[in-house]
């Protein structure tokens, strides 16, 4: 590497506000621990090039088909590329081949696949559903679609940045070179070319320049940085386009949900952790609680019950919970969330599975912390 390439790193995309993104691997040299642990997170793994390493759905004979009323799909590997073959059952007998180019979803619950046609991006009809380990019709797809256009309203929550040819973000034509996959550092910290250039040129400076310090944000700003993707679809764009909002901004000035819900039970557990948490007694009765009270955004913590129990116990003392009125005897080694944040079925994310009459909902941990029976 030439010294000038180091001091002036390559610009991989430019945000609508004019600031430049650099490759996320540039963060590694100065923030190695955060960089490494971030690679394990669902955020980092939520979109990628669709190859054998990332695609979770099966291409093995016998497990590689999806049979719907109007169309049959077969998933096939050819010369290290992955393809879907679609054949309509009625009328025309033409077989349509589409390549799996990108995957969306870390695969903990499932994965969807996107295909390029020139610079146009489409979502393919079959998705992978982890609970059954099989191919299913993608949520809200009709019986026969083969593929469907994808625009910023889908990509905004699963990639770091995408450059749509339409300034409003509602076409499916992209600058393919400017698609930053995964939810990376600069999705939550903003485009940081200036920060990297400054610190590479000023190695002795130990205080951060050209980057926001989250501890200077208000509670609402801290919440909004997560709520942009975790408070419903936010499909009604008020200002700019779906990628305009950056951490530090006020989300309500950029977008909102088409419907506002007043009752917590109307909120869906899928993708609305913010809405549910904000209706919980813990949130309402504490001045500072935000997502980072329980989550370290740089670490994969799913399944670490001790970690989350300790978070509850920083505010709740089991001895003072246990009053004579309680039926349940509380102890410190109980898994608090199994009763107070139960896994709950989504009303909107449901999948039809071959051989089963009813649609199967995806189960998601509710953030309405409360007393359930």
Using CB under 6 A as the binding rule, the residues of this chain from 335 to 354 that contact ligand HEC are 335-341
Range 128-157, binding ligand HEC (CB under 6 A): 153-154, 156-157
Q: What is the separation, in whole angstroms, between the first and last Cα of the chain?
A: 61
Among 20, 41, 137, 244, binds ligand HEC (CB under 6 A): 41
**Site map 42..81 versus ligand HEC, x via CB under 6 A:** xx--x-----------------------------------
What CA–CA distance (Å, rounded) separates 173 from 151?
A: 8
Token code pair at residue 122: 């489409």
What phi and psi values does residue 277 have, to the nearest 5 degrees? -60, -40
Question: CB of 123: closest distance to ligand HEC in angstroms?
Answer: 6
* Contact by Cβ (8 Å): 40, 299: yes
**Cβ closest to ligand HEC, residue 78 vs residue 328:** 328
Residue with tokens 């953030």: 367
**Cβ closest to ligand HEC, residue 78 vs residue 209:** 209
Query: What does the DSSP assignment read for 124-146?
Result: ESEEEETTTTEEEEPTT--SS-S
Among 96, 108, 145, 348, binds ligand HEC (CB under 6 A): 108
Does 5 help bind ligand HEC (rule: CB under 6 A)?
no
What CA–CA distance (Å, rounded) separates 142 from 125?
A: 9
Range 267-286, binding ligand HEC (CB under 6 A): 270-271, 273-274, 277, 281-282, 285-286
Q: Which stretch binds ligand HEC (CB under 6 A): 10-18, 164-172, 255-263, 298-306?
A: 298-306
**Site map 239..258 versus ligand HEC, x via CB under 6 A:** --------------------
| Beta strands 134-137 and 255-256, pairing class | unpaired
Among 116, 261, 301, 348, binds ligand HEC (CB under 6 A): 301
Burial of 234 (0-12, 13-18, 19+ CB in 10 A): buried
Alpha helices in the chain (DSSP H): 3-7, 32-38, 152-155, 185-189, 193-201, 219-230, 273-277, 281-284, 305-315, 318-321, 336-340
**Cβ closest to ligand HEC, residue 77 vs residue 301:** 301
* Contact by Cβ (8 Å): 347, 361: yes
Question: CB of 234: closest distance to ligand HEC in angstroms?
Answer: 6
Does 190 help bind ligand HEC (rule: CB under 6 A)?
no
Among 68, 146, 181, 229, binds ligand HEC (CB under 6 A): 229
Token code pair at residue 224: 């909004």
Q: Which stretch binds ligand HEC (CB under 6 A): 41-49, 85-93, 251-259, 353-361?
A: 41-49
Among 12, 13, 20, 27, binds ligand HEC (CB under 6 A): 27
Does 261 help bind ligand HEC (rule: CB under 6 A)?
no
């Amino acid at each position: 590497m030439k010294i000038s390439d180091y001091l002036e790193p390559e610009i991989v995309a430019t945000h609508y506000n004019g600031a430049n993104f650099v490759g996320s691997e540039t963060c590694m040299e100065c923030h190695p621990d955060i960089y490494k642990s971030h690679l394990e997170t669902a955020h980092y793994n939520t979109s990628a090039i669709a190859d054998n390493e990332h695609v979770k759905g099966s291409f093995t004979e016998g497990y590689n088909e999806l049979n719907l009323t109007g169309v049959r799909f077969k998933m096939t590997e050819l010369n290290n590329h992955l393809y879907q073959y679609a054949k309509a059952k009625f009328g025309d007998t033409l077989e349509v081949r589409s390549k799996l180019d990108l995957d969306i979803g870390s695969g903990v619950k499932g994965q969807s696949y996107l295909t390029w046609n020139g610079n146009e991006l489409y979502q393919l009809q079959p998705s992978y559903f982890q609970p059954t380990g099989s191919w299913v019709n993608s949520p809200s797809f009709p019986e026969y679609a083969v593929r469907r256009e994808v625009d910023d309203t889908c990509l905004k929550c699963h990639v770091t940045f995408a450059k749509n040819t339409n300034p409003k973000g509602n076409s499916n034509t992209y600058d393919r070179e400017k698609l930053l996959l995964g939810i990376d550092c600069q999705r939550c910290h903003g485009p940081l070319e200036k920060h990297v250039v400054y610190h590479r040129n000023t190695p002795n400076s130990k205080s951060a320049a050209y980057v926001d310090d989250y501890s200077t944000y208000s509670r609402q700003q801290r919440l909004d940085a997560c709520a942009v993707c975790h408070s419903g679809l936010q499909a009604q764009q008020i200002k700019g386009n779906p990628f305009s909002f950056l951490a530090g901004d006020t989300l309500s000035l950029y977008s909102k949900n088409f419907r506002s819900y007043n009752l917590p039970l109307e909120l869906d557990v899928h993708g609305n952790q913010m809405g549910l948490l904000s209706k919980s007694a813990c949130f309402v009765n504490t001045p500072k609680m935000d997502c980072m009270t329980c989550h370290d955004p740089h670490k994969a913590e799913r399944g670490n019950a001790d970690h989350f129990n300790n978070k509850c116990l920083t505010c709740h003392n089991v001895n003072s919970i246990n009053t004579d009125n309680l039926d349940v005897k509380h102890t410190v080694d109980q898994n608090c969330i199994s009763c107070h944040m139960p896994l709950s079925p989504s009303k909107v994310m449901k999948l039809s599975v071959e051989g089963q009459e009813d649609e199967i909902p995806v189960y998601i941990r509710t953030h309405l912390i409360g007393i359930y029976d």
